[in-house]
Amino acid sequence: MSEIREMIRELCPDGVEFMVLGEICTIKTGKGITQKECEDDAPYPVMSGGQSPMGMYYDYNREGDTVTVSRVGAYAGFVSYLTERFYCNDKCFSVIPKGHVLLLPKYLYYNLKQKEDTIKALQSEGGVPTINTQKLGGIEIPVPPMAVQRKIVEILDDFSNLTAELEAELEERKRQYEYYRNLLLTFNPVANGAVTGGEHQINDTTENRGGQADATWLRMSDIGAFYGGLSGKSKKDFGNGNAKYITYMNVYSNISVNMDLVDTVSVSTDEKQNAIQFGDILFTGSSETPDECGMSSVVTEFIGEPTYLNSFCFGFRPYNIKSFNVHFLKHLFRSQTLRKQIIRTASGVTRFNVSKKKMLNVSVPIPSIEKQNYIADILDRFETLTTDLQSGIPAEIAARRQQYEYYTEQLLTFKRKAA
């Protein structure tokens, strides 16, 4: 740090110039292609609205050493850096320094990555998250001399590489979790599953065969009913409302609804809106790829006040929640067993939408409550290992990230040069 500070004192003693992104960079939306046009053996990754490539394509429309920002979808505002040629889809921007500006793309990346929360806050409210060119172009960054930019990139690259090693190990743990989740949630079908009377009780006839739990398989239409998210709302109803609602991103990102991350919406006392409750399974209704459609999140806490659901999501309420361990359900609906079926209910071209009518026919394996408790306990432990910031690799990564954020803040904070 002493070396870079000395360099800054020498090369920019009076401060550095701050420039508006739209004036020093070309911010350009890519050209749309569909998932069906992607090919596994094609050479170029397709950057779209997600955190990782949508697929591979036979052609490219951007060179390497380029910054991208996701434009629409659950990850709108996510900043990436591509070292090789790639295809930029219409769900993301490429941000390229203009020829007359002395700006390193990797330095630009570190600046925008530091401002990622600010960029995500530019998302439109209410519907599918979207960021427009004008708002992104209004972001301001400091532009020091090239020698300073290079030194900053060198230091931050070293920190990033150290963290990447830990993240690779964590990814391996997550793969183990997914493996055991799919193994434990693969069931042998058994006969005589039934819904009895008007109370929708599950007639459980489970036993154990060949190391896999047996289960009663029932259609979703047999065990519960769907309901819609908020209706009749406009953009002005969101942000400073009198009621809480669960966002699209909350459902997409969490297998259990995070009740600490609720937004607000205006709901009058005479409105007929569906409030969520304990045990409900919430789903995202649409996405740019079928693989991301119908992502689920279960309400595992009791709700103390009316809380609603984003209009681009929908809920499913079991008729008899006592037949289920809600923590079992949160793992089950993210398992391969259910995801394969749910993905097949989505249709579309540039955007895919889940059919609730088709989802009613999705088959759900229901083992005994004792078996549910057993599976939930094991998978919750795996989940803790991969997400708990108080233990193991996640804790070490969190510490490294704090260190990285500290140095990033130090390195990318400059005195503004007087006009």
Residue 29 belongs to domain with CATH number: 3.90.220.20
Say if residue 66 is exposed, middle or buried (CB neighbours under 10 Å; 0-12, 13-18, 19+).
buried
Which structure tokens are listed for 118? 């600010």
Q: Look at residue 314 and tell me if it is in a domain.
A: yes
Q: Look at residue 2 and tell me if it is in a domain.
A: no
Residue 10 phi/psi, 5-degree rounding, is -80, -45
For residue 301, the enclosing domain spans 188-366
Q: Which residue has the tokens 């570190």?
A: 110
Q: Look at residue 339 and tell me if it is in a domain.
A: yes
Confidence band of 64 (pLDDT split at 50, 70, 90): very high
Residues 114, 215: one domain?
A: no
Q: Look at residue 402 and tell me if it is in a domain.
A: no
Q: Look at residue 327 and tell me if it is in a domain.
A: yes
3 state DSSP class of 190: strand
pLDDT at 228 over 70: yes
* Alpha carbon distance 38, 350 (integer Å): 13
**Domains identified in the chain, total number:** 2
Task: Express the helix, strand and coil content of the chain in percent, nearest 5 each.
Answer: 35, 25, 40
pLDDT tens, residue by residue, 159-178: 888 888 888 888 888 888 89
* Alpha carbon distance 379, 178 (integer Å): 9
pLDDT tens, residue by residue, 321-372: 999 999 999 999 999 999 999 999 999 988 899 999 999 999 999 999 999 9
* pLDDT for residue 189: 63
Q: Look at residue 218 and tell me if it is in a domain.
A: yes
Q: Which residue has the tokens 């919750």?
A: 380
123 and 76 in contact (C-beta within 8 Å)? yes
* pLDDT for residue 259: 92
Residues 206, 354: one domain?
A: yes
**Mean per-residue pLDDT of the chain:** 89
The share of the chain scoring above pLDDT 70, in percent, equals 93
127 and 312 in contact (C-beta within 8 Å)? yes
Q: Look at residue 406 and tell me if it is in a domain.
A: no
At which of 345, 366, 387 does a domain end? 366
Cross-strand pairs, 263: 245
Residues 198, 324: one domain?
A: yes
* Alpha carbon distance 202, 308 (integer Å): 28
Closest residue by Cα to residue 193 from 78, 396, 308, 363: 363
Confidence band of 406 (pLDDT split at 50, 70, 90): confident
Cross-strand pairs, 195: 202
Q: Which helix (H) or strand (E) holds 249?
A: helix 248-253
Confidence band of 198 (pLDDT split at 50, 70, 90): very low
* pLDDT for residue 287: 87
3-state SS of 367-394 is CCHHHHHHHHHHHHHHHHHHHCCCCHHH
* Alpha carbon distance 241, 219 (integer Å): 37
Q: Look at residue 276 and tell me if it is in a domain.
A: yes
Residues 217, 131: one domain?
A: no
* pLDDT for residue 192: 43
* pLDDT for residue 190: 52
Which structure tokens are listed for 329? 């359900």
Residues 254, 138: one domain?
A: no
Residues 267, 354: one domain?
A: yes
Residues 194, 74: one domain?
A: no
Which structure tokens are listed for 246? 């669960």
Closest residue by Cα to residue 352 from 288, 262, 413: 288
Residues 219, 322: one domain?
A: yes
Residues 261, 352: one domain?
A: yes
Residues 134, 192: one domain?
A: no
* Alpha carbon distance 199, 261 (integer Å): 34
What is the average pLDDT across 268-282? Answer: 94
User: Quick count: other Cβ atoms within 10 Å of Cβ 364?
Assistant: 23
* Alpha carbon distance 237, 175 (integer Å): 41
Confidence band of 389 (pLDDT split at 50, 70, 90): low
Residues 346, 197: one domain?
A: yes
Any idea what DSSP says for residue 33?
-
* Alpha carbon distance 348, 355 (integer Å): 11
pTM of the model: 0.59
Residues 288, 198: one domain?
A: yes
Q: Which residue has the tokens 């009895």?
A: 196
At which of 325, 347, 366 does a domain end? 366
* Alpha carbon distance 330, 254 (integer Å): 9
At which of 81, 115, 143 does a domain end? 143
Residue 26 phi/psi, 5-degree rounding, is -90, 115
